[in-house]
Amino acid sequence: MSSPTLPLINTLKQPTSWAWVEQAIANLDIILLDHSHCERKAAGVALNLMFRYPSSTQLVRQLTAIAREELEHFEQVNQWLERRDIPLAPLSPPPYGAGLKTLIRRDEPERLLDSLLVSGLIEARSHERLGLLATHCPHVELAKFYRGLMASEARHYGIYWVLADTYFERDVVQERLEELAIRESELLVTLHPEPRIHS
């Protein structure tokens, strides 16, 4: 059977490859462990932004809600790890996160814009990939769990986009999102050999 081309999520420039789905399904335990790290990191990113912009009321309010929800998901993923007897352990990250980080410009206000859009793109990609796990994971209960989470990731993407739209002109946001989305997809063209949510 030839590898199917997967549907493209709004905002993302390229859909995930079928090779990623095969890699993930063949390594569900590692994917779960990596997912745990992703949820903790996502909470950390939201909290860091709140520390960096403590006077930006909308940003603080929305990111507090995101951070709380990511921590709730972190707890839920960790319960899955426990249920499957997978001990918590560090995992080397794929190059995706570090690659995206280099795209964030250093000076304000560009730094804020890029930070929001990069976070949004990660949420959009996570939404896509959790959706693929929800569809293709052979374990019914786990698939259901992924289905529950993917809606949150889409909502988080929306919040990051609305925040960018709150603090910046819409055409500036659109133009930069276009550039960043192209680079985001490029970072995933070559499948990382280690199975990860963002390999």
Of the candidate residues 9, 15, 27, 60, the single one contacting a second copy (CB under 8 A): 60
Distance CA 181, CA 185 (A): 6
Q: Is 136 in the site for a second copy (CB under 8 A)?
A: no
State which residue, 41 or 155, has the beta carbon closest to a second copy: 41
Q: Which two tokens stand for residue 44?
A: 């950390």
Residue with tokens 């990069």: 118
Contacts with a second copy by CB under 8 A: the residue count is 26
Q: Is 179 in the site for a second copy (CB under 8 A)?
A: no
- Closest approach, Cβ 98 to a second copy, in A, equals 16
Of the candidate residues 28, 42, 50, 163, the single one contacting a second copy (CB under 8 A): 50
Q: Is 98 in the site for a second copy (CB under 8 A)?
A: no
- Closest approach, Cβ 73 to a second copy, in A, equals 10
Residue with tokens 């990191």: 41
Q: Is 109 in the site for a second copy (CB under 8 A)?
A: no
Of the candidate residues 7, 29, 72, 151, the single one contacting a second copy (CB under 8 A): 72
Of the candidate residues 35, 37, 125, 198, the single one contacting a second copy (CB under 8 A): 37
Cβ atoms of residues 70 and 46 within 8 Å: yes
Q: Is 61 in the site for a second copy (CB under 8 A)?
A: yes
Q: Is 93 in the site for a second copy (CB under 8 A)?
A: no
Footprint of a second copy on this chain (CB under 8 A)? 37, 40, 43-44, 47, 50-51, 54-57, 60-61, 64-65, 67-68, 71-72, 74-75, 78, 87-90
